[in-house]
Chains A and B, each alone.
Chain A
């Protein structure tokens, strides 16, 4: 169900959103650092209120600062929601020999139980994960991938890894387009009717895709070599500069979040 977005443009919705984001003039280093820090705090705190606070504030950032349409955010949030519900259900239900806790259901010789502890754990986990997911969305809906790669380069990630990342990012679009065309062609010829035939079609489509991408890589290499490629991809990067006001705002938010965590954990004297 998450993969109904099987066409190219819908698939990389986040990439498109990032390119149009109202926050694209904020320094990518700051955005990446800020989101990763908040993410770590949210996961580290593992607390319901902190999770809700992070989730709501990140959605607020996306809508009011990033100017991301609300309908897109809702669509994005639906993706993890289903996984989250099932996994939380697993954590909520305990399979034990004897009935215990708040609610129980006999299945054969076993009992499915909900204890207050498991309820608490499932609820905490749900909101912790929701906060973290919103934080990830805030990063990826405001920062285009090349800028994130540029940040990683400045963090001294080896040049070979950076090169691979740029190339993979570039080829994603090429292959997605080829894959889309192949799938449309196969669908138009009734290739996906019936399970047996669709398995075979899916295999053929992916086989053709890989064969053509290998062939394409050779052509690409020749083209790059003829333009003087010797193992180093050089791009002009014009990343937006860091502004003091942005830094201050980020710092204020992190301090507020830290304060909330301290209060919730009871580390501040009452």
Chain B
């Protein structure tokens, strides 16, 4: 059943797409949490199972950190609450929407990727229940993209930059920006795998990637700059704490 459109009608359809696109530009894709109920059951379960080994590993690592110094539990809790509060941060308006940074990349740079998995999951649970960002059935998928994949990339990039002897601020900025970008790619892959069109997974992947790129690429750049400023502030105001968590150990200053 094909509907023939005249040129004029086609133009009308094109024009009617504009508001839709504008909405796309202005949507609260809010750090790319997949919303509640958006993933089919099997996908929800599989992503949860994929997260499980990371969470166990994360739990063991947190237990080890805490048994070595008890104060760390409060620092970790502060970092978790901080990641949550970042979602309330008044952000420079990017493409009309005020999206927010994830904060897990910064956490991975400061604490390493291991504790961030569990911490990120708790924060995501809180965001789902208190803010309705993300959801319970999509908790596994969101944890994987935001609390496991992103922090790992951030941490890797940060270590690499350190090896290359880049300045620390550049390293932090790159690490957090790329971590954010990777989170968005993983989320797009998850969405495309869950809802492939007739043209297959790849076609819908490009669709999701290109629609969300509108908000996520500027956001990633902003998150990189922000994280660099945050670390700069921390170095001038919170040196003892940074030394305590092992971020400033080897510099000896």
Contact = CB atoms under 8 A, between A and B. Distances in A.
Nearest to A137: B132
A57 interface: no
B92 A168 contact: no
Interface in B60-83: 62-63, 66, 70-71, 73-78, 80-82
B48 interface: no
B36 A133 contact: yes
B30 A87 contact: no
Contacts of A132: 36-38, 135, 137
Contacts, number: 296
Contacts of A206: 86, 89, 226, 229-230
Given A195-B92, A202-B92, A133 B132 contact: yes
Interface residues of A, number: 101
A133 B233 contact: no
A160 B92 contact: no
Question: How extensive is the interface on chain B, given as a class?
Answer: 35 or more
A254 B19 CA distance: 40
9 contacts: A6-B90, A12-B130, A83-B28, A94-B203, A132-B37, A137-B132, A175-B85, A183-B90, A210-B233
Interface of A: 1-6, 8, 11-12, 14-15, 36, 39-40, 42-44, 46, 76, 79-80, 82-87, 89-91, 93-96, 99-100, 102-105, 115, 117-118, 121, 125, 128-133, 135-137, 139-140, 145, 148, 158, 160-161, 163-165, 167-169, 171-172, 174-176, 179, 183, 187, 192, 195, 198-200, 202-218, 220-221, 224, 231
Given A118-B197, A215-B241, 17 more contacts: A1-B98, A11-B88, A46-B40, A79-B131, A83-B30, A102-B1, A132-B137, A160-B73, A168-B122, A192-B90, A199-B92, A203-B225, A206-B229, A210-B230, A211-B237, A217-B75, A221-B70
5 A-B pairs closest in CB distance: A132-B37, A207-B233, A203-B229, A2-B28, A167-B77
